[in-house]
Amino acid sequence: MFSNANTLTPRKSSRSWILPLLLVVGSLVVIGLGLYMTIVGNRSELVLVWARPVVAGQQISDEDITTMALPINRPEQLQTLKGSSNIIGMWATRSTGTGELVTAQQLSAEAPTTPYYPNGAKLPENMVALPFSLQSVGPIDDHDTVNISFVDTTGDPQRCSALGGQSAQATALPNTPSADTQGNPLPITCRLLPQVPVLYVDQGDKIAYLAVTPYQSQVVYTLSALETVQLYGERYGTTSSPLPYMTLLTPSSIDADLLTGPVSETTPLLPGMRKGSRPTQQAADR
C-alpha cells in the first residue's frame, strides 16, 4: 500500500549541465571574435600624402609631404607609401594635388633628363612637343592619336605632292589646280601626318601636346603661316589601321566606291593603293 519514493521521483541526469556550458562557451567565442575583428579593423597606420601641389619634374622637399592615418586593411587602390618612407630628394614623375596619396609610381630616384607632363608622360628623346588646338578635333585624351591634315584653298595639288604626297586613288596626280565653271580654284585636302601620339591634353586651354620630330614641327608651323592653308585634326585610335602620309584629295577625285565602301576596304594599306580596290571610272576610261 505504501509507494517507494525512490521509484516515483525521476532521477536527474548527470550530464544535464553540458548543454548550458556549451551555450556559454559558444557565446564567449562569438563575443571574442567580434572584439578581435573590431580591434583589427580599427588598426591604422601612418601613410604619406601630398601636403601641397607638386609639379611633374619637381624635386621633393620636406614641405611637400605629410602623413595621415589609414586602416591597415584597406582596398588595394588605397595602398600607398608608409609614413616611415624617406622620399625627400626624389623627383615627381607626375603632377599631384593636395591630399592625394603618395605612390611609388609618382616618384623617381633620378632627376628627369626629358620633360615630364602632369599626367606622367615623358617627351621621347629627340622629339619636340607640338601644341595643337582641339577646335577641330573635339574631345580627346592621351591614349589617342591625331591625324594632322590641311585644306588649301588655292587648289594647288603640288602643295601636297611636292613633299612626296600620293593620291588617295591609283591615278596620276593632277599638275594644275582644279577650277569651277567660273575659273575659281577648287580647294584640296592633304592628310599630312597620320597617327601622331598625344603626350598630354590641357582640357582648360583645349590644346593637345603632340610628340613629333623637329622637322615635322617645322613643316606644321610653315604651313600654318600660309593664309590659304587651314590645318585640322582628326581623333584616331592607337590600334587603328595605319594610314599613309601626305594623302591628297581633290574635289574631282572623290571616289564613290571609297566613299560608300566598308572601313576595311577604304583604309589605304599603302600610299595610293588599297587591297582589292576596283578601278575608278577615270582609270577605266583610260
* Same domain flag for 192 and 68: no
31 pLDDT more than 50: yes
**pLDDT band with cut points at 50, 70 and 90 for residue 167:** very low
Q: Is residue 3 part of a domain?
A: no
Q: Averaged over 20-47, what is the pLDDT?
A: 70
Instruction: Note the pLDDT of residue 74.
Output: 63
155 pLDDT more than 90: no
Q: Regarding predicted confidence, which is higher, 273 or 91? A: 91
55 pLDDT more than 60: yes
Instruction: Note the pLDDT of residue 166.
Output: 47
* Same domain flag for 84 and 178: no
* Same domain flag for 134 and 56: no
Which residue segment(s) compose the domain that 57 sits in?
Answer: 44-108
Contact 51, 63 (CB under 8 A): yes
Q: Is residue 150 part of a domain?
A: yes
HEC profile of 10-54:
CCCCCCCCHHHHHHHHHHHHHHHHHHHHHHHHHCEEEEEEECCCE
Q: Is residue 178 part of a domain?
A: yes
* Same domain flag for 75 and 201: no
* Same domain flag for 100 and 132: no
Q: Is residue 9 part of a domain?
A: no
* Same domain flag for 89 and 132: no
* Same domain flag for 150 and 257: yes
Q: What is the mean pLDDT of the chain?
A: 76
Q: Is residue 250 part of a domain?
A: yes
Instruction: Note the pLDDT of residue 78.
Output: 57
Q: What is the CATH number of the domain that holds 72?
A: 3.90.1210.10
Q: Is residue 14 part of a domain?
A: no
Q: Where are the extended beta strands (E) located within the chain? A: 44-50, 65-71, 91-92, 107-108, 128-133, 144-152, 166-167, 188-202, 207-212, 229-237, 247-249
Q: Is residue 36 part of a domain?
A: no
What CA–CA distances, in Å, run from 194 to 15, 45, 169, 209, 262?
88, 50, 17, 15, 20
Q: Picking from 206-210, 225-229, 247-251, 261-265, which range would have the lowest pLDDT averaged per residue? A: 261-265
- Residue 271 CB-half CA count within 13 A: 17
Copy the grid coordinates of residue 27: 557565446
Q: Regarding predicted confidence, which is higher, 200 or 173? A: 200
Q: How far apart (Å, rounded) are the C-alpha atoms in residues 202 and 212?
A: 17
Q: Averaged over 138-163, what is the pLDDT?
A: 83
* Same domain flag for 57 and 153: no
Contact 60, 85 (CB under 8 A): no
Domain edge (last residue) among 108, 139, 164: 108
Q: Is residue 232 part of a domain?
A: yes
What secondary structure letter does DSSP report for 105? G
200 pLDDT more than 70: yes
Instruction: Note the pLDDT of residue 171.
Output: 45
Contact 268, 165 (CB under 8 A): no
Instruction: Note the pLDDT of residue 6.
Output: 52
Number of domains, the chain: 2
User: Which of 31-40, 165-174, 185-194, 215-224 shows the highest mean pLDDT?
Assistant: 215-224
Copy the grid coordinates of residue 151: 585644306
